Structure 1
């Protein structure tokens, strides 16, 4: 339990810093003279550079455990934010965002793999994944508004410096606190899995079509994160307003993440139900004059609180708990691809077609394309 609490804390710090930047990156890029298409590429390149980091993290976590990757990711991301505070041109911001995408790609697979190794019981694993979601959501409830307030109070440079030092401090703390029997057990399991793995099957028991789930959802989220800050023109005056929108989104997620009874339901059905609700929310965003945006964003957050723990639990169930570093690495790769494509396409279509309607189409196609799954047998509860 101490390991889980420690991981939740470090993920909280990382997610807090990440979400604090959402409402301010677009206005910051605009202040540097960046065009909407360039901003789309800036947001997309962050996701694209996740790919090599995810590939390295998946194999590395299976062989060496999670600790070193958590520490590296936090400290390196903090250093990049310190450099970002001194950016003076759009291309410099693009370069730093691409590097940031690479180093932060190690964090999520490492933390999820260590969390999954803490229990062999499917229900307990689902709760651990939900805890990850709750941590993510709690960090994102206040962080967008806090980031926007800091910029309004102290400016972009001091805000980035503050967020950078917070990440570096968290990384140093992780270096000395992530330890114990659970860490050693993960190392033993990871090495055993790596030694016995069938090289001809990269992800045993996980059909690649299931990765359409995180791919499609991340694509829609990339569109949202690009389009929402531009709702008020992407100007500095609208930063605080945008931060409140993101906080409303996170509050909705917190509601469904707190419904622990949901984890006794099929993760496959939970994922599909959440995606359907998310698609309807994007359709609602296409007609803001009929449905208030705060209402749509709150319900959209509720759908996210259903989707992400369900997808993680589904992958644990289908994979049988083996080679979790690689499983979550490929999940992160799928999300990175979606997050890369989403804002780039939105940036190209922003002036001629509603990106929100495009997200609705993507999610509905995902529901149609995903085949039904057979019910997996429950894992036995270990007796200590």
Structure 2
């Protein structure tokens, strides 16, 4: 538990630092002369460069442990922010954001893998994942407004410089205070003749004591994080552009904070964690798709209310998705499983801003998000007689 508390503290600082950039990157790129389509490409490349890092993490996090990757990711990300403070044209920013995407690709799989290995009890693992979501949300409640405030008072250069040093100091502290935790594998003798637990979409799960292990992991489950990341990437792309024309950078920070407050509300409803994580994921994604359809419809519904509800859906779906993956994954391969989750999220985060940047003049980006979420849900609703096994990188 001590390791979990330290990890939560460092995650809070890291997420605070990274989310503080959300409302300021788009105005910064525009100040350098970037067009909306270029900004969409920049945000997409940041996500797509996650892929090689995620693939490497899928192998090396399980082999070498989580701590080295957490420390190195934070250290290099801080150094990149220091360089980012002095860029003078959009292409330099594009290059640095692409490098940052690769560097930070190791952080999420390493953190989630370390949290999952802190316990063999599936209920306790679910609580740890909910705690990760709570820390993430707490950081994102205040960080967008804080980032916008820094820029308003000190300018882009000083803001990036301060945020860079925060990450570097956090990496140094993590080196000393995060301890690696290893869970002994469940013996084969204990795995024989165990009862099966039903799971949506025909995933078969075996129970051994208080742990759950899967016999198969369908590729369809990863369509959901692709859809979720695509939809949220579109929202992250659209909000600063909308405010750029009608408001200030502080307004952008406020809008992101409203989303985070919504997530905080549902994360504080601890009783939700008692329900099946697969059903929580599916129902939360359905609600999110409906909200994006309402955004695209331009109905007379308060925009702030829709953002708050989107945040509430996030607070339900993301911890539930991580918990679901723990249930349907091999207990000895958390690094690989969460790397596949990160890869799926990276693909979606690339598609979202890229499509929004190039199609926003022809169709509402929010409708694109609705369609992609609907397709992801349709894939998981399709029955399959023999679920294909997902081969994870070795």
Corresponding residue for 1:169?
169
Residue in structure 1 matching 2:356, options 330, 341, 346 = 346
Does residue 211 of the first structure (1) align with residue 222 of the second (2)? yes
Deviation at 1:277, TM superposition (A): 1.1
Corresponding residue for 2:56?
56
Structure 2 regions of 5+ residues with no counterpart?
187-213, 385-394
Corresponding residue for 2:286?
276
3-state SS in 2 of match to 1:106: helix
Does residue 301 of the first structure (1) align with residue 330 of the second (2)? no
Give the whole-Å Cα distance in 1 for the aligned partners of 2:332 and 2:77: 29
Give the whole-Å Cα distance in 2 for the aligned partners of 1:64 and 1:240: 42
Corresponding residue for 1:285?
295
Does residue 315 of the first structure (1) align with residue 325 of the second (2)? yes
Q: Is the 8 A contact 2:185 2:331 kept in 1?
A: no
Corresponding residue for 2:101?
101
133 and 296 in structure 1: CA distance in 2 versus 1, 3 angstrom threshold? same
TM-score normalised to the size of structure 2?
0.88
Deviation at 1:372, TM superposition (A): 6.8
128 and 232 in structure 1: CA distance in 2 versus 1, 3 angstrom threshold? same
Corresponding residue for 1:18?
18
Q: Is the 8 A contact 1:30 1:234 kept in 2?
A: no
**Partner deviation per Cα, 1:85-127 (whole Å, 9 max, x = no partner):** 0000000000000000011111110010010011111111111
Q: Is the 8 A contact 1:27 1:234 kept in 2?
A: no
**Partner deviation per Cα, 1:213-270 (whole Å, 9 max, x = no partner):** 11110011111111111112368x5211011000000000001111111111111100
Give the whole-Å Cα distance in 2 for the aligned partners of 1:271 and 1:19: 23
Give the whole-Å Cα distance in 2 for the aligned partners of 1:276 and 1:335: 18
82 and 366 in structure 1: CA distance in 2 versus 1, 3 angstrom threshold? same
Does residue 238 of the first structure (1) align with residue 248 of the second (2)? yes
Structure 1 regions of 5+ residues with no counterpart?
191-202, 375-384
Q: Is the 8 A contact 1:281 1:300 kept in 2?
A: yes
3-state SS in 2 of match to 1:87: coil
Give the whole-Å Cα distance in 1 for the aligned partners of 2:53 and 2:278: 28
Give the whole-Å Cα distance in 2 for the aligned partners of 1:308 and 1:74: 22
**Partner deviation per Cα, 1:272-311 (whole Å, 9 max, x = no partner):** 1110111111122224450111100000000000100111
How many residues are matched? 358
Corresponding residue for 2:8?
8
3-state SS in 2 of match to 1:305: helix
Corresponding residue for 1:69?
69
3-state SS in 2 of match to 1:351: coil
3-state SS in 1 of match to 2:20: helix
TM-score normalised to the size of structure 1?
0.90
233 and 288 in structure 1: CA distance in 2 versus 1, 3 angstrom threshold? farther
Q: Is the 8 A contact 2:45 2:98 kept in 1?
A: yes
Corresponding residue for 2:392?
none
Q: Is the 8 A contact 2:356 2:365 kept in 1?
A: yes
Q: Is the 8 A contact 1:268 1:373 kept in 2?
A: no
Give the whole-Å Cα distance in 2 for the aligned partners of 1:245 and 1:340: 22
Q: Is the 8 A contact 2:117 2:181 kept in 1?
A: no
Corresponding residue for 1:149?
149
Corresponding residue for 1:185?
182
Q: Return structure 1 stretches of 4+ with deviation > 3 angstroms.
A: 371-374
Give the whole-Å Cα distance in 2 for the aligned partners of 1:31 and 1:16: 24
Corresponding residue for 1:363?
373
RMSD over aligned Cα, in angstroms?
1.9
Q: Which deviates more, 118-127 or 68-77?
A: 118-127
Give the whole-Å Cα distance in 2 for the aligned partners of 1:108 and 1:247: 22
